[in-house]
Chains A and B, each alone.
Chain A
Amino acid sequence: MVLIIIIYGVKNGLNVYETFLEGATSSFSMITTLFPTFLAMMLGVNLLIDSGFLTFLLSFFKPLFMLLNIPTDILPLAAIRPISGTATLALLNNIYTKYGTDSTTGLLASVMQGATDTTLYVITLYFGSVGIRKIRYSLFAGLCADLIGIIASIIVVKCLF
């Protein structure tokens, strides 16, 4: 991809080096607006996870998952996925070591990870970078998409594997 971009630039008679520098410089201003938003989000999300509150909340959903014959270890992954990328990767790591990558749980975790995204992170990042504070229905819409992705991945894994 890098090669294509450079070659295309040269082909169109661009000063590729100067253009690159110009673009790279503009990342500085973006980073300075991003840092405070990141800080705020990390604080909130980490407090929720580290205090054990999230695990406590999730324990209510366990019976439902057992009823549907879905591995309960997938539950924290599904719940944390929209709010923290690093936490999800850590959980995914645990699942892989505990069950193996090609077990049903491992496969489901992989597909779920691929089908969803860190919605809260994307919202803070994207809206934070341009200074939007009133996000309207975006969080709800994003979480709905994640939920659909989670449900879809459970169904797909059940059907395919």
Chain B
Amino acid sequence: MVNIIWIIFIICGIIFGFVTNNMTVVNNTIMESATKSLDMIIKIFPVLALWMGLMNIASKSKLLDKLSKLLSPILTKLFPEIPKNHESLSLIASNIIANMFGLGSAATPFGLKAMESLQKLNKKKDTATRSMITFLVINTSGVTIVPTTIISMRLMHGSNEPTKIVLACLISTVCSTIGGIIVDRFLARRYKN
């Protein structure tokens, strides 16, 4: 799947660049992509290290377990395959909570840890499980209570009411999360048969 998309992206990009006589741009892009991805890794690395450290404290002090208990009634319904009290549930809960408060940089390490722990339950190591996909859908459509990035960007651009969009964001993300879960359930059933 990713393979096909990747091939399409690259071939379309290069051919289109060729047709529209934009080859210099294409050549630059190919070279720059490598540098840009390293930049991204360098940006994400310190945050990851910091939060992985903090997360280790949170998980060993049983703070994560406490959080996950709050969400466990919903989570057990959404992830029927995960055994009760499995560590991945508390990690998923923390990821969702961090996302809710717009702490994207904190949410990612939780999410990666959750994925790692879901992978332990996975029998076919190269194939995504149903739980993993449900988790991804919840994560990408995640309910946001405080969209920190957007508020700060609006503030930066001199908005009078940077928080004006909070309610609208909340309604929209609730819609997309519910919609996403429905689509996910539907597809999961279809793929089984």
Contacts and interface: CB of A to CB of B under 8 A. Distances in A.
Genuine A/B complex: yes
Interface of A: 1-2, 4-6, 8-9, 11-12, 14, 16, 19-24, 26-28, 30-31, 34-35, 38-48, 50-53, 56, 86, 89, 92-93, 96-97, 100-102, 106-107, 110-119, 122-127, 129-142, 144-146, 148-149, 152-153, 156-157, 160-161
B119 A132 contact: yes
A5 B38 CA distance: 31
Give 5 nearest A-B pairs by CB, closest first: A23-B56, A145-B180, A47-B13, A149-B176, A115-B172
Given A39-B34, A43-B10, A115-B176, A142 B57 contact: no
B54 A20 contact: yes
Contact of B17 (A52, A111, A136): A52
The range of chain B's interface size is 35 or more
A23 B52 contact: yes
Contact of A125 (B56, B60, B108): B108
15 contacts: A5-B63, A19-B60, A20-B56, A23-B53, A24-B49, A24-B56, A46-B13, A47-B13, A53-B12, A107-B165, A114-B144, A130-B116, A133-B3, A135-B2, A138-B128
B36 A46 contact: yes
Interface string B15-29: 011001010011011
Contact of B147 (A4, A56, A114, A146): A114
Nearest to A149: B176
B41 A38 contact: yes
Nearest to A40: B6
A9 B159 contact: no
Contact of A102 (B33, B142, B160): B160
Interface SS, B side? helix
Contacts of A4: 63
Nearest to A160: B168
A113 B191 CA distance: 31
B57 to A, nearest CB: 4
B75 interface: no
B142 to A, nearest CB: 7
B177 interface: yes
B140 interface: yes
A149 to B, nearest CB: 3
A52 B116 contact: no
Nearest to A113: B150
B154 A51 contact: no
A93 to B, nearest CB: 8
Contacts of A135: 1-2, 128, 133
Given A96-B154, A135-B2, A145-B137, 9 more contacts: A8-B63, A27-B48, A35-B38, A47-B29, A51-B12, A93-B153, A107-B165, A110-B154, A144-B179
B52 A24 contact: yes
B57 A30 contact: no
Interface string B124-164: 11111000110011011110100101100110011111101
